[in-house]
Each structure stands twice: as C-alpha cells, then as structure tokens.
C-alpha cells in the first residue's frame, strides 16, 4: 500500500488526515499488535487480556477485532491501534503512526 506525500506532510504538521489513518488501521490487525505487548485469549467474538496500563492481575481489557478497538474496564483506557502503541510506548502521534506503518509494511512514498 502506498501513502501519498500529502498524507505524510499533514501528519508531520500534526494535522490528522482521516483517510490516511483509516488506511493504516485497516491494514493492521489490532489483536496482533496488542498481543506483542500483552497476552490475549479469545472470549466469544472478542479477546480479553491483562491491561498493560495499570497493575492488573485478571483480564480487564477487551479487544474487538471487528471494530479494531480496545477498552479496559478498570482504568478506562480505550482507543485504536495507534493510540494503543502511543500509550504503551509513550510515543507522540507521529512516531506511533510511523511505527505502525512499519509493522504493517505500509510504504510511505516521498
């Protein structure tokens, strides 16, 4: 998948290009990304796991592959694949977007 220079430039200028973000999110499987940070187990159509954002001992985080979102019912952390990486690694939005682009093998053309 190719992403235009204008899309990258908007991200660099901290302007969110929603089309670019949707392309990135649709190219990734949120379950695979979150499993690289914490263990998940299938629970019906969703996945459950221990939330990495607070001291947790029982699965309180639900990951929905159909909506490509996560939500913790204890600390309230929720969002999409980019916000999960951003919060987990304490990266800014641009750096998190670049990381998920690399992990999804999304080429950014210059």
Tokens of 36: 């690289």
Question: pTM of the predicted model, to two decimals?
Answer: 0.77
pLDDT digits (tens, 9 = 90+) for 76-105: 999 999 899 999 999 988 888 788 887 777
pLDDT at residue 110, rounded to an integer: 36
Name 65's Cβ contacts closer than 8 Å, sequence gap at least 6: 29, 30, 31, 45, 46, 47
How sure is the predictor about 7, in pLDDT bands with cuts at 50, 70 and 90?
low
Helix or strand run (H / E) with residue 78: strand 78-79
């Amino acid at each position: 998948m190719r992403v235009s220079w204008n899309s990258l430039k908007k991200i660099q200028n901290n302007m969110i290009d929603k089309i670019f973000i949707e392309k990135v999110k649709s190219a990734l499987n949120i379950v695979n990304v979150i499993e690289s940070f914490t263990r998940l187990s299938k629970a019906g159509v969703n996945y459950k796991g221990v939330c990495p954002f607070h001291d947790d001992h029982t699965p309180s985080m639900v990951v929905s592959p159909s909506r490509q979102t996560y939500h913790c019912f204890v600390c309230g952390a929720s969002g999409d694949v980019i916000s999960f990486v951003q919060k987990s690694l304490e990266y800014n939005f641009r750096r998190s977007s670049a990381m998920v682009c690399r992990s999804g093998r999304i080429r950014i053309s210059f």
